Amino acid sequence: MANFNDPLRKIPLFPLETVLFPDGIIALKIFETRYLDMIKQCMRENTEFGVVSIIKGQETNNEGLSTTFSQIGTLAQIKDFDPIQPALFITKSLGTKRFKLLQSQQESNGLWVGEVELLDSDPLMPIPEEHLKMSKLLDEIISVLKSEDLLSESSIKEPFRIDDCGWVSNRFAELLPISLAQKTHLLAQTNPRIRLDLITEIIEDDDLKNLIVH
């Protein structure tokens, strides 16, 4: 039984070419044996797996090729599980706590396992006055998704904490069409106010407001 209060733990990893943020939803189609077994174990033991982004190489770790993962990842808790076939699962998982990846290794079945240190959750922090426009913009985006019946397909789920720096910055980080490196850099920020500052700069510098709304 895992000690959920221990900041150090060993977890199964799911390397992806994306970044999962706390309170975000990630949908996965599971068909490889190693991940089918991982999902079954997580469901059986009520444990989480870790999502890390692939910085270099491939997660299959082909002979002669090195593989590098991001040092920061996010725990994922399975919320929706649909075994549509014996060897095909459709899952939706919720991002919970961020972690620092201390080391990783690939087991004989191909599954990556990492030793991680859990990081503190974002402190609750009101939106500063100069960023209230960001809160209003996110509220507009949510309204558009609702009106087009797309909210359930997005990474945004209730409760909508549009008055909280951490929640707002994480949702924008998911939505923005920016590089994997930029998303990873945003995930690594321990101060949600700084993360929101950076996101505001990205949107204003690249004039992305209309793009993410429409």
pLDDT of residue 208: 62
- For 13-68, the DSSP string reads EEEESS---TT-EEEEEE-SHHHHHHHHHHHHHT--EEEEEEEES-TT--TT---E
Rounded Cα gap, residues 162 and 141, in angstroms: 11
pLDDT at 1 over 50: no
Q: pLDDT-derived band of residue 207, with 50, 70 and 90 as boundaries?
A: low
Closest CA to 73 of 9, 141, 137: 9
Average pLDDT of the segment spanning 38-67: 83
Out of 42-46, 113-117, 121-125, 154-158, least confident range? 154-158
* Contacts made by residues 178-181, CB under 8 angstroms, sequence distance 24+: 178/202, 180/17, 180/18, 180/19, 180/53, 180/55, 181/55
**Could you tell me which residue, 4 or 80, shows the higher pLDDT?**
80
pLDDT of residue 204: 86
Query: pLDDT tens digit string along 119-155?
Result: 999 999 999 999 999 999 999 999 999 999 999 888 8
pLDDT of residue 56: 83
Query: pLDDT tens digit string along 76-91?
Result: 999 999 999 989 999 9
Helix (H, G, I), strand (E, B) or coil at 93: strand
Which region, left, alpha or beta, applies to residue 207 given φ > 0 means left and ψ of -120 to 50 means alpha?
left
Average pLDDT of the segment spanning 97-103: 98
Whether pTM exceeds 0.85:
yes
Neighbours of 184 (CB within 10 A): 18
State the average pLDDT for the chain. Answer: 91
- Structural domains of the chain ordered from first start: 8-118 (2.30.130.40), 129-213 (1.10.4060.10)
Rounded Cα gap, residues 188 and 145, in angstroms: 28
Rounded Cα gap, residues 170 and 134, in angstroms: 12
pLDDT at 75 over 90: yes
pLDDT of residue 54: 95
